[in-house]
Structure 1
Amino acid sequence: MRKVHFNRSIIAAASALAASVAFVAPVRADNPSILLDPPNLDYKAVCKPPTDQAPRPKLDRDWTKSAIGEIKLPARDIVALAVEYSRGSERVQKAPAVAEEMLRAGLKKYPAQDDIFLIPLARVLMENSSTIDELREAESYLLDAYGAGSIRAAFALGQLYGDDGPSEMRDLTKSRFYLEKSALAADPQGMIEYARIVTLDPQATEEQKKGAVTNALLGLIGQIKEGDCSALNRIGFLYLRGSLVSKEVETALKWLEAFARTGDPRTAQNLAELYRSNQVDQIDIQKSMTYLKQAADGGMSSAQFSLGKAYATGISVPQDSKLAIKYLSGASDAGLHPADEWLARIYAGEFGAGRDDAKAKEYFQRVMQAQDHSEEVPVQYGEFLASSGASKEDVNEALRILQAAADAGSADASDEIGKIYLEMGRKDPSYLSKAMQSFSEAATAGNSDGAAKLAGMFACGQGAPISVELANDWRHKAAIFGSVYSIYVSGLNMLTKADEADRAKGRVYLQQAAFKGSPEAIGYVVARWEAGTDSFEQNPEAAERLLRFVASLKDNEQRRLAQLSIISNRFDVASKLADKLSQIAALDSMIQADDRDALMLRAQLLQRAGQATPAALGDTYKKLAQLGDPRGMREYGKILLSDLSQNSETGRTWLKKAAEAGDFKAKISLIDPGDPQALQQLAKMTAAGEACTVDAMVNIARVYSTLPDPQAKTLARYWLSLAESLSDQDADDLYTVGAAFRDGIDGVESRAKAEGFFLRSYALGRISVLRDLAEGHLQGIWTDSSVDKAKADLLKLYAAGDKDAANKLISEIANERMVSNPAEVNELLTFLGTDVNAPGKYLLKIVRLNLEGKLGTRDDAMAIRWLTVSADAGEPNAMYRLYQAYFFGNGVAKDTAKAFDWLGKSGEAGNQRAARELSVAYKVGVVGLKPDADKAAYWDGKFKALSTAQ
């Protein structure tokens, strides 16, 4: 290879430039280190509008499948499309043969404009030729163009003959000749390629190489000053790729950002990708999104697509459905089919935007017609068509589309078919077998949701007899396949095992489900890491990490459910009433926002804590009902039906509304035991498999137990046994089953079984169950019933702040069923304050017990206090006893005035003895009362009236 000779003036300029640059990196043997910053220019004033960035021709068809001879586009549009097909883009796949055919058709159609077709056609032939004749043809086109004065042809000839060109045409002397011509004509690419040849020349000195590269850079900078700012981009990529110069990413970014400031959208898109790649020292998402928006606003369809997705999901930018639609629509108009898919999903309501069925269907149909749509599209479209409120025609169309996808091997499609049949099976159980078949096909192919649905069907008896074993088996498979909820349930099941290895695995499952986003698992794990209970070691750091994960969740609904789960589980592990009440209070902000789940949870937690009053529950359920919550409608309806002062039809109306809204418990509540068809109605409901929870199963058992048909008793026992087999680690489920046994659903002989369920429920945090345990002891239901045990249970409730328990203790002590002492009674009364139930009745009894020594050591002073409370509550006999105490000074300082005051109150309250004594006293006069004929007559009449009444 001959040596390179440079024009002396150019070498001098290059040397002067190199002398002014600080070389901070060592010179590499292949690419010299030349650190240049972009020139300090007013680019808006200097840069001329680019000539090569006109809007791309609209792609109205797939030209790989269309007759190109029919092309009717302008000459330059034909060239632009051909170049796009030759390279490939986000709109079209690379298709050189199509590009060649387009260019030949354009050359034939526009012979007078052959100058714009020759070089693109030659390049297509150069890059994709299979014969020497095609290469010779390309060479002839380029020589013709060069002969006509095209300097771009010189550069293309340099590439054709160069070491990167086809081997059949390689001639390095010719390549150097034409590249030198291109460089001397100041063609930017020619200057770069010529400098590359010099740097690869083993005979060139480092100074010559540096001079050649500097010359190329200066030439590009000269192009910038003349208004061709695209050179900023070229220099930036030289530094970015390490071509001609050593790789310097920070320097590359300066040049690329300078070009982006001219408004170039493609460079903006490149910068958007760079700033979130590992090429930069520190990823900068904010800068990336700023440049992505510039590229999208500049018409880059791929950038519009990326930015539209970001706005749809809320990733990297605030979620904004309007902006998502705007940018995705731009990408769609440019022919980007995946944008249609995202638009369909947005209009279908997937990302929280308002649902628009017409537009969603339009875009889904558009995507379905595209040959390159993703495998998920038929599944998404089928799911959309079959969603709530779908017509029969839409459901049939959904099944057709999904079945075609399932036949093609889509497990997700099989899963969606199963869901449709499962929903249809709620009205017609004959569809349940089809649902089970579809779920089986999906699960066999590894679909986690299909396996989870099968678990649910076996657990609920949908399409097959109930089988806890098969349900657990499929649930475990679903967990292995990745179903987050199944991982959670499997973890709970493993925690019940006797083997510590199984329990350890269960803890791992629960933690995995939590960090995968399961709201139920999040609440369970957080509460137990905080408290160090239920075989979890205390780990506040891990709990805090999981809470930060919850705060970072983009899905608002997922975050809301996780927060409710955390509150519920913290309530369960709390051992003190104050801590439980603080968790109930934590629901306030959500309740103020009319969160229906928070309202329902508050009612449940108040009941579990033994703090629910009928008024509070009634208000809660009424509000829920008015908000349209089926659970609230049902419970409010039941409250109204139990209130004899209310119109029963109002209660039934709310139950009917709940049933119409799909509430299963409301449906079975409306069954009339006296209806001859009641057994058949209930059998039809259960055949649809809606009884999927312990609570629902127990309710079915209760309804069956009220029916007169002998078979109903057997069915009641069957459903209760199912509920019993499923109740395990849930305090509410255990209580529900226990209450059913206590109420004799399985026969009077089985009532004692309730105690075991109540004790397990209490161990899991349901404090209020102590009241049921105490009542069972008092009624002698349990095998080892004991009044002392009943008192112990009530004392635990009282210690937890339960006023109902304190009142129960007072009444049982007064009725001499429980032994106590004055100090204990006084402590209970002090705690209750003004909330003592029937104080007149019970405190008078307790006073008698005290005075008779049946409460241990007699305490007259305490008796006076209790009598006063009883009297203040309106008890005539307590008022009379206070009269005696003050008159004779028993247990209190003698006070005649107070004595007669209480005697008068007792008489007015209906005490016959008091009226008689007052009548006598006013007739004859006594100490403290002067004779008064009128008063004597009044009390005498009162005495006679009371005597007659008796």
Structure 2
Amino acid sequence: MTSLGEYYLRGEGAPKDIAKGVAWLEKAGTYADIDAYKLLARHYRGEFGSAPDLPKAVEALSRAVALPGHGTSVLVSLARLYAAGIRGQPDIESALALYRQAADRGDPSGLTELAKLLLARPQDAEGTDVVALLKDAADRGSPDAMGLLSDLYECSAVVSPDMEQARSWLVRAAAAGHPRSIAALASRAGADPEMTRRNMEALKGAAEEGDRESMVLLSFAYRTGQGLDRDERLAAKWQEAALAPGEDRSRAQLLLARKLLNGERGGADEGFARGLLEEVARDGDANAAFELGRLLVSAAQSDGDARARGVALLQKAAASGIAPAMAILADQPDDQLRSTGRTAAEWRRSAAEAGNARAAISLAALAKDPSEASAWIARVESLPVCSARDMVELAQIQSRVNGSRGAEQARIWIQRAVDTMKFSEPDSATLFLIGRTMLEGVGGASDQQAALAYIKRSADAGKVEAMRFLGRHYASGALGEGDNGLAIEWLARALQGGDEGAATDLARLAASAEEDAPAAIAALRAAAEAGFAPAVREYGRSLQFGFGGAADPAQGAAWLRKAADAGDVMAMKELSRAYASGYGVELSANASTDWLLRAANAGDAEAMYGVSLAMTLGFGTEVNTEAAQKWLATAEATARR
């Protein structure tokens, strides 16, 4: 009866007929067949193509649990349904009771799932050693428990951070086939090729056994060539399998959406990700509401209605206790938060109180007096601080607020940040922050060589601000003996990266460093010929005044016009001065005021003052005292802003 019911549900060996399949399974259940109830639960979860009916899935599994001889997998499956929420409201008490039953019978997944739920609800964990539960599950061969132990040792409030332990559990989890651990190891720089190959074989095995998370990760591995040869056909095949109807489909959709939004497919795909999140959020998933809300408030193309919906979704996620949702609400303008009944400051406080370390660090930084800052620092230190950036910012606050004790704490946090960076993919912004903090002597004596090494790593990783920093400091000699050659090299790289300030810095070097001026001009010219407006402007000014070679006012003015036509406000003002003096162009008061007016309309306060004066004097335009006064008032208001 059970086999016949499954054939009808699947449409294998017989035409698909859901009603007949359910009827045969119900009949088999009356003969105390546990497998029939398990199949019925899978059907009511939507695995065979029907719409999910979670209360009926719970009913089927409850009937299975009431029968003698049921396995622990039935208990775990039923507990997951209660924990997720049958009618949108989780039943944590029932879920915990079922997980404990499975754990008492030695089931590794029961131990792991119980630990996960207790970590999410520490108020229910009193008297329970969660780490011991996970280690017991790991000893019984649970890859999921090993992966979670790696996460906890890397950063949690449950155990002291221990990066060696974290790494050890990560390797064990990957070897046992834990999908996220396999992907994490494969993505690390210098990953062992042979270990990666073995881990990827384990990932394939897990995917072939039906693990949805493994399917998503395998699809990305084939698409990106990370640990496997690129193969778009296999990538599409595993993505389709991950999104097929059935149990855990929503988890696959959520993971896939997150990876798409992170650009891990070779570029962010917001449209596809949004469709996935919309579907999962409709079923009441708070994590999907969070991801979708975050997307809607941050997407450049979102209009007012979309942002308002994003705020509403984030508020829903916040009501479920998701602290990062509160932190994102804290970053929204108060006028967009009126519907929530709270201000940005109130959401930031809620996020910090709910355990968001970043929000608590922000509150400590914004505190008006040392005692308030110290209170928020104490709150941060009771939370898991996981990112190196947060550690460095906390060190900066500690050194500023708490005197000698703060200096020692700052040293500890800086060292933790440095240790964290050893075990993670280098982040250019954090590398730069660490270097700057070391130069400032936060946490102890300034270590210029170590600081420079971090700043150079940041620059090599693409941080334009780090390139400009190195260029300026080599030019000024602030890092020791000045070196114009190195200064020009780093500024040229910053300019290629789109940094406007580097163009001005190179022009200054061209004007002051006689021996190295040609190299500075060559870097400017290359960027100018590529069409970068600030470089076009500075190259034009250099030609005008003969920086790095003979002066050529006419050619200089021609380059300035190119920059001005491209919308560069400073070039417009320079061109106005050229026409006012006839330097490189025909003397023309009209053209001078016309270019000044364009710069003023673009929002430049200095140009507004100039237009006001021109209209007062009748320079290149008719005298118009009323308009002159309006421009003067606008200039003053702009300058104040």
- Shorter-chain TM-score: what band? 0.5 to 0.7
Q: Which amino acid aligns with 2:273?
A: M
- Do the aligned partners of 1:876 and 1:911 also contact (CA within 8 Å) in 2? no
Identical positions, percent: 18
Counterpart pick for 1:407 among 90, 93, 104: 104
Kindly report which structure 2 residues correspond to 1:745-824, keeping only aligned pairs within 5 A, or say none: 745-746=442-443, 749-750=446-447, 753-757=450-454, 759-760=456-457, 767=462, 769-779=463-473, 786=483, 788-796=485-493, 798-799=495-496, 802=498, 805=499, 807-816=500-509, 819=517
Which residue is 1:857 aligned to?
A: 550
Q: 1:694 to 1:335 in 2, by over 3 A?
A: same
Which residue is 1:504 aligned to?
A: 194
Counterpart pick for 2:147 among 447, 452, 459: 452
Q: Does 1:590 align with 2:273?
A: yes
Give the CA deviation at 1:849. Answer: 4.6
Q: 1:884 to 1:903 in 2, by over 3 A?
A: farther
Give the CA deviation at 1:793. Answer: 4.0
- Do the aligned partners of 1:735 and 1:757 also contact (CA within 8 Å) in 2? no
Tell me how far apart the structure 2 counterparts of residues 392 and 567 of structure 1 sit (CA, whole Å). 28
Q: Which amino acid aligns with 1:421?
A: L
Q: Does 1:288 align with 2:13?
A: yes
Give the CA deviation at 1:909. Answer: 6.9
- Do the aligned partners of 1:451 and 1:478 also contact (CA within 8 Å) in 2? yes
Tell me how far apart the structure 2 counterparts of residues 693 and 455 of structure 1 sit (CA, whole Å). 15
Counterpart pick for 1:525 among 208, 221, 236: 221
Q: Does 1:441 align with 2:131?
A: no
Runs of 5+ consecutive residues of structure 2 not aligned to the other structure:
208-212, 279-289, 318-322, 335-341, 512-516, 598-606, 637-641
Give the CA deviation at 1:667. Answer: 4.3
The CA deviation string for residues 681-716 of structure 1, in whole angstroms up to 9 with x for no partner, is: 54455445x334545545554554554354344333
The CA deviation string for residues 867-904 of structure 1, in whole angstroms up to 9 with x for no partner, is: 6566994867753531432xxxx644x57xx4566479
The CA deviation string for residues 748-788 of structure 1, in whole angstroms up to 9 with x for no partner, is: 7146545544555666xx53x13323224414576787554
- Do the aligned partners of 1:774 and 1:791 also contact (CA within 8 Å) in 2? no
Kindly report which structure 2 residues correspond to 1:493-642, keeping only aligned pairs within 5 A, or say none: 496=190, 502-510=192-200, 512-513=202-203, 516=207, 517-518=213-214, 521-522=217-218, 525-526=221-222, 529=225, 539-540=229-230, 542=231, 544-553=233-242, 554=244, 555=249, 557-558=251-252, 561-562=255-256, 565=259, 583-584=267-268, 586-591=269-274, 625-628=311-314, 631=324, 634-635=327-328, 637-638=330-331, 640=333
Give the CA deviation at 1:371. Answer: 0.9
Tell me how far apart the structure 2 counterparts of residues 706 and 512 of structure 1 sit (CA, whole Å). 50
Which residue is 2:602 aligned to?
A: none
Tell me how far apart the structure 2 counterparts of residues 775 and 909 of structure 1 sit (CA, whole Å). 32
- Do the aligned partners of 1:623 and 1:632 also contact (CA within 8 Å) in 2? no
- Do the aligned partners of 2:330 and 2:343 also contact (CA within 8 Å) in 1? yes
Runs of 5+ consecutive residues of structure 1 not aligned to the other structure:
1-88, 91-265, 277-284, 298-303, 309-325, 573-582, 607-612, 642-648, 923-928
- Do the aligned partners of 2:100 and 2:114 also contact (CA within 8 Å) in 1? yes
Q: Which amino acid aligns with 1:715?
A: Q
Tell me how far apart the structure 2 counterparts of residues 704 and 520 of structure 1 sit (CA, whole Å). 42
Q: Which amino acid aligns with 2:63?
A: R
Give the CA deviation at 1:600. Answer: 6.5
Counterpart secondary structure, 1:879:
helix
Tell me how far apart the structure 1 counterparts of residues 49 and 408 of structure 2 sit (CA, whole Å). 48
| RMSD over aligned Cα atoms | 5.5
The CA deviation string for residues 810-857 of structure 1, in whole angstroms up to 9 with x for no partner, is: 322344478467776466456557x659x9xxx5x8766544422322
Q: Which amino acid aligns with 2:557?
A: I
Tell me how far apart the structure 2 counterparts of residues 654 and 711 of structure 1 sit (CA, whole Å). 30
- Do the aligned partners of 2:118 and 2:125 also contact (CA within 8 Å) in 1? no
Give the CA deviation at 1:411. Answer: 2.5
Kindly report which structure 2 residues correspond to 1:135-146, keeping only aligned pairs within 5 A, or say none: none
- Do the aligned partners of 2:34 and 2:67 also contact (CA within 8 Å) in 1? yes
Tell me how far apart the structure 2 counterparts of residues 639 and 339 of structure 1 sit (CA, whole Å). 51
Tell me how far apart the structure 2 counterparts of residues 721 and 619 of structure 1 sit (CA, whole Å). 45
Q: 1:759 to 1:658 in 2, by over 3 A?
A: same
- Do the aligned partners of 2:115 and 2:133 also contact (CA within 8 Å) in 1? yes
- Do the aligned partners of 1:462 and 1:687 also contact (CA within 8 Å) in 2? yes
- Do the aligned partners of 2:330 and 2:347 also contact (CA within 8 Å) in 1? yes
Which residue is 1:483 aligned to?
A: 178
The CA deviation string for residues 532-558 of structure 1, in whole angstroms up to 9 with x for no partner, is: xx8x79x44x46434433333334652
Q: 1:398 to 1:491 in 2, by over 3 A?
A: same
Which residue is 1:367 aligned to?
A: 64
Give the CA deviation at 1:634. Answer: 3.0
Which residue is 1:463 aligned to?
A: 158
Q: 1:788 to 1:589 in 2, by over 3 A?
A: farther
| Higher Rg of the two aligned structures | 1
Q: Does 1:381 align with 2:78?
A: yes
Q: 1:288 to 1:589 in 2, by over 3 A?
A: same
Tell me how far apart the structure 1 counterparts of residues 397 and 554 of structure 2 sit (CA, whole Å). 54
- Do the aligned partners of 2:254 and 2:276 also contact (CA within 8 Å) in 1? no
Tell me how far apart the structure 2 counterparts of residues 356 and 271 of structure 1 sit (CA, whole Å). 18
Q: Which amino acid aligns with 2:547?
A: K
Q: 1:654 to 1:836 in 2, by over 3 A?
A: farther
Q: Does 1:676 align with 2:366?
A: no
Tell me how far apart the structure 2 counterparts of residues 853 and 788 of structure 1 sit (CA, whole Å). 20
TM-score in terms of structure 2 length: 0.68
Q: 1:527 to 1:847 in 2, by over 3 A?
A: same
Tell me how far apart the structure 2 counterparts of residues 719 and 359 of structure 1 sit (CA, whole Å). 52
Tell me how far apart the structure 1 counterparts of residues 614 and 458 of structure 2 sit (CA, whole Å). 55
Q: 1:513 to 1:404 in 2, by over 3 A?
A: closer
Counterpart secondary structure, 1:509:
helix
Counterpart secondary structure, 1:749:
coil
Q: 1:650 to 1:519 in 2, by over 3 A?
A: farther
Kindly report which structure 2 residues correspond to 1:44-443, keeping only aligned pairs within 5 A, or say none: 269=4, 288-290=13-15, 293=17, 297=20, 304=21, 332=29, 336-343=33-40, 362-387=59-84, 395=92, 398-425=95-122, 434-443=129-138
Give the CA deviation at 1:862. Answer: 1.9
Q: 1:475 to 1:562 in 2, by over 3 A?
A: same
Q: 1:864 to 1:544 in 2, by over 3 A?
A: same
Tell me how far apart the structure 1 counterparts of residues 196 and 190 of structure 2 sit (CA, whole Å). 9
